[in-house]
Chain A
């Protein structure tokens, strides 16, 4: 908390330390959002830059992490809209160090690929809900929308994921 306070009043070193503490979380969130290393790096870069510019406006130091993730999700949405390109998840995934894929690995890739196919908001909600274990209320804060909208999008996203995964299982069978 002390470091956050220092960062708010302009201590660059404190800010850098905070970012370094959260870099893994930021990168993995960005990666799970965009599915490739290049975009994930860009998203983190933009997030850090925007956080640096606006940390002086952070009113609640206790919410630094949520605030950072909020910036990151916005950057991720912006990044994907700007590029609107095809996402190559499977080819770039780092777990490809294994000699061959197990059924479980395929399943994990399937769900990641399915998440990437979701629209911005439902995708953000799924990542925040399952990876960050956020409550609907917290997600609503991050996405700046009503809790009811979060819930609606969440259930729709789950439905889509189930449908997609079931379809793929049928194809695989």
Chain B
């Protein structure tokens, strides 16, 4: 028996490792990250109802009345405002605000294959609401849109009154543009039950485990375009930067920034107040888009390159604004 166990052990040690294993591992980690982002996003919404937020808001108001700057900095709270004075983004250095992030429905991610199948049937950028009987869950799915054609990208951005340059500063060249809507995973709470009932019935009637339908922005309750991401690459250094337009009215009012002693510093981009953030895997600059362009976006410029300093990132942002 011992010999046979020994043989078996050797045999297990000789099992070949499939090439796809690395991919599966990275997908699992990304899945965890996405879920964390979602939980953080949902928590941010919940956070506004918390006493602690009210205390901070009151403190902010007190400081504002005391004649502080247009965008104020109080305690560990940083606020970015539009030209109406409305807070469109808050940066916070402490992720532990005393709330419990909501958990996702159990088994939500057990139907990736069905999700992919539905996404494949959608047009780029199009969204659908889908019901999965396996875990009795309704989710929003969206087919990502990405292009490396600047003309096509600008045609897409036209709908949002946006245009981007094919390059700037004689160095950065357009690489690709894409639309992300990572937050649009679940339908808005007031719509969730209605969708569930409708699609569950549809699945039951057709005797299928999955039912779905294409939905529009207004039905989803949030815009299909959550973020428009344009990637540029330096012809000189190969460093990449991302320019991200976030929609104002739906963007978060609180951004909880990392947990590795993040740095948030007030700075300026093209004469506008901006915040530099370092502490995530990427360095980022946040500022408001120029409303003369008819947009209500805040802009994030981001780089994963550790070689780009804060000053360089601000300079790049200035050059981007000048050329846009």
Q: Interface on A for B, CB 8 Å cutoff? A: 9-12, 15-16, 19-20, 23-24, 27-28, 31-32, 37, 41, 44-49, 52-53, 93-95, 104, 107-108, 111-112, 115, 130-131, 158, 161-162, 165
Q: Which residue of A lies closest to B7 (CB)?
A: A108
Known contacts A45-B28, A49-B28, A52-B32: A28-B15 contact under CB 8 Å = yes
Partner of B32, one of A11, A28, A53, A111: A53
In the complex the two chains form, is A24's CB within 8 Å of B17's CB? yes
A sample of 30 cross-chain residue pairs with beta-carbon separation below 8 angstroms, ordered by A number, consists of A10-B260, A11-B260, A19-B25, A20-B25, A23-B17, A27-B17, A28-B12, A28-B15, A41-B18, A44-B24, A44-B28, A46-B28, A48-B32, A49-B32, A49-B109, A52-B32, A52-B33, A53-B32, A94-B15, A94-B16, A95-B14, A107-B4, A108-B4, A108-B7, A111-B8, A112-B12, A115-B8, A130-B5, A131-B12, A162-B1
Determine if B97 is an interface residue (Cβ-Cβ < 8 Å). Answer: no
Q: What is the predominant secondary structure among interface residues of chain B facing chain A?
A: helix
Q: Which 5 A-B pairs rank lowest in CB-CB distance, beginning with the nearest?
A: A52-B32, A48-B28, A49-B28, A108-B11, A94-B16
- The docked-state distance in angstroms from the alpha carbon of A95 to that of B21 is 18
Q: Which of B27-41 contact A (CB under 8 A)?
A: 27-29, 31-33, 35-36
Number of B interface residues at 8 Å Cβ cutoff, please give it: 34
- The total number of A-B Cβ pairs within 8 Å is 98
In the complex the two chains form, is A44's CB within 8 Å of B9's CB? no
Q: What is the predominant secondary structure among interface residues of chain A facing chain B?
A: helix
Determine if B22 is an interface residue (Cβ-Cβ < 8 Å). Answer: yes
Partner of A41, one of B1, B4, B24: B24
Q: Which residue of A lies closest to B5 (CB)?
A: A130
- The docked-state distance in angstroms from the alpha carbon of A160 to that of B9 is 18
